[in-house]
Each structure stands twice: as structure tokens, then as C-alpha cells.
Structure 1
Amino acid sequence: MRDLVQELVSHYADLRRQLTRDLRDPHHAADIAQSSFERVYTHTLGLRDGAAIESPRALLFRVARNLCIDEARHRKVAQEWAVSHAVVGTHLTAPSSEYVVAQHRVLRRVVETMEQLPPRRREVFLLFRAYGHSRAEIAQRLGITEMAVAKHLLRATIDCSRVFAELRHELIEPQAVNSHAGFDTALAEDFS
């Protein structure tokens, strides 16, 4: 048994160098090498008397490789889980009453502004923005030139832009909330 331990120790430095090259992290390589050494040693303690390991070096390197593979698989599963739960766990909450009131106020002002536009300008704007007609389609439908359509669109856009500039400070954005944030925050505060 003592000879086996000495042989494993003699290959330990080679294993660490190999793992450091493969993993590019000397601390992580040392952890994997240590775990590999422990597993091989524990395995040899469980062998029946007279049973011997044919190549302790090969077994040590094979155990280390398997540990790296297991860890890579675990990391991949953990990352996939984190990505899937980040998408599922983050969602929009029900809008706050302030948000709903602000949006109704903005909508009311936009409707008022649209109603104050001259009828032809309002019709051109709605056909273009709401119904997605092209300028040529609008010109043909209303019997006016495309240049007139462009002027009506420009003036309507300027009128609406003024309203939005006035209302910009009233706009409230809905907030995305992580459904677990409260729990995590409370848990973090318990340990600090």
C-alpha cells in the first residue's frame, strides 16, 4: 500500500501540470488533482488483499479526466437551468395603479390631439400609422397628391410630437421584477 501511495504522489505533480494546461486555472487544477488522488486512494483501500492496480498513473489521470467531464456537464446543466429560469423567473408584474392612471391620461391626451387635427390630416395620419397604408395608397384613396399626403403626415407627426414632449414626464414604465428577488434579498440580509 505504501508503494502505491508513493507512486501516486510521484505522479501528482505531472497531473497538476497537465490539468493546469487543460483547465487554464492552477487553483481549479489543484482541486481536481486532489480529488483524483483521494478517489484513487479510497478505491485502493476498498480492493481485496492481493488485488493490485495495474497502472496507478493511468488510473489517476483517468479519474481526473472523468472529474473534469463531470464538472463540465454539471456546469452546462447549471447554466442551462439559470438561463431558462432567468427567462421564466423574470416577468412583468401586474401594472401599478400609477402606471394605469398615467397611461389612461396619455391616451386621453393623444385622442384629444387626434380629434383636434383637421379632418383630412387626421384621416391621412390614421391611414398611414394605424392601418399601414402607403403614401401612394392614401393619395389614390383620398384623391390627393403624394406630396399632400407627406405634408399632412408631417404636420400630424409634429402635432403628436408636441403632445408627447409635454407628457414625457408623465410616462411611467412598467418594471420587470424577478419573482425570487424578494426572497434572495431577504435571505442575503439574514446572513449579513
Structure 2
Amino acid sequence: MSSPASPIVDALACYRELHRFLTGKLGSRSDAEDITQSSYEQMLQALQTQRQLQVESPRALLYRIAHNLCIDHYRRQKTARNWAELASHASPATRFAPAAEYLAAQRQIIERVVTQLMQLPTARRNVFILFRAYGMSRTEIAAHLGIKESTVAKHVVRATLDCARVFAMLHANLPEHIEPGECSAGIRE
């Protein structure tokens, strides 16, 4: 039986190969270096926390981890681009500070959603936050929390429905005439 260090030693042999592959895939040596490093860190962490884990192909495991990290990297880049694009297309009117009534309504929404999240069962809340706030996939959450993917899906659906009820109640109570670009007197700035 091989020691836990053996798969790492085997994987270290393909460090340059993985780095070259990621550089070609990402088009950035810096990003490739970061993901290569993170891949080894995650592999080592998996081997240390799951000592019974038998790794038949350390190279395949390493490439799978790197592939998943690339997907996360692309998601973050896409989100950043989308935010930048939204900011660049914002009209001057929407760049001004919103009306006090609008801010109060938004604070109320946030407070109610936070209250609703805090009332959720701990497991459901954790799954929902990992899914919505951190952008983790259902598979990643299941592996991270050690639960079934179907359980993750159920938690996400139930938490979404719980939050949707809060939004529906709030939407019914919000004033219709207040928009983000309006001042408190209702005149566009």
C-alpha cells in the first residue's frame, strides 16, 4: 500500500506539464501559476483529510482539480466583465445617489431577507449561501459538505422559495413611483 505522500510525489513529476497546459488554456502565465499552485494545494488537502482515498492516477486527479479551478476562474472573470459592462452602460441619471425613500425600501428588503435567511435551518442556509453568494455548483457543495447532490438541490429550492415569499410580500408593499435615479421630491437629478 502506498503512503499518502506517494500520489503527491507522482503528481509533482507533471508540474511543468500542467503549468504549460494551463498557460495555453488560460492565456496567462500568472493565472496558470495560481491555478497550478491551487491544484496541488487542493490535492494535498484531499489526500490529508481523506486518508482512505486510493488514487490510481495522481495526474488525472490533478488535472480534474485544475479543470474545476479553471471553470471557477472563468466564472469569476465573466461576473467581473458583466459588472464592468453594466457600470459602463449606466446613464448619468442612475449614477446619482438614490432617493431616501428608495434607500429605506432597499434596507427593508435586505433586513427582511437576512432575517429570513437566519430563520432557515442551518444546513439549508449554508447550502443556499454557498450556492447563491459564493457561486459554488451543486456538485461542489455536496462534496464540500459531505451530503448528496439531491439534498443540495432540495435545500436550494426550499431556500429560494422561502426568500421568494419575502420578496413577494415586500414587492406588494413598496411604493411604485420611486426609482433609483429620483430624488426625494420625485424630480430627476
Larger radius of gyration: 1
Shorter-chain TM range is 0.3 to 0.5
- TM-score, normalising length: structure 2: 0.44
| Structure with greater helix percent | 1
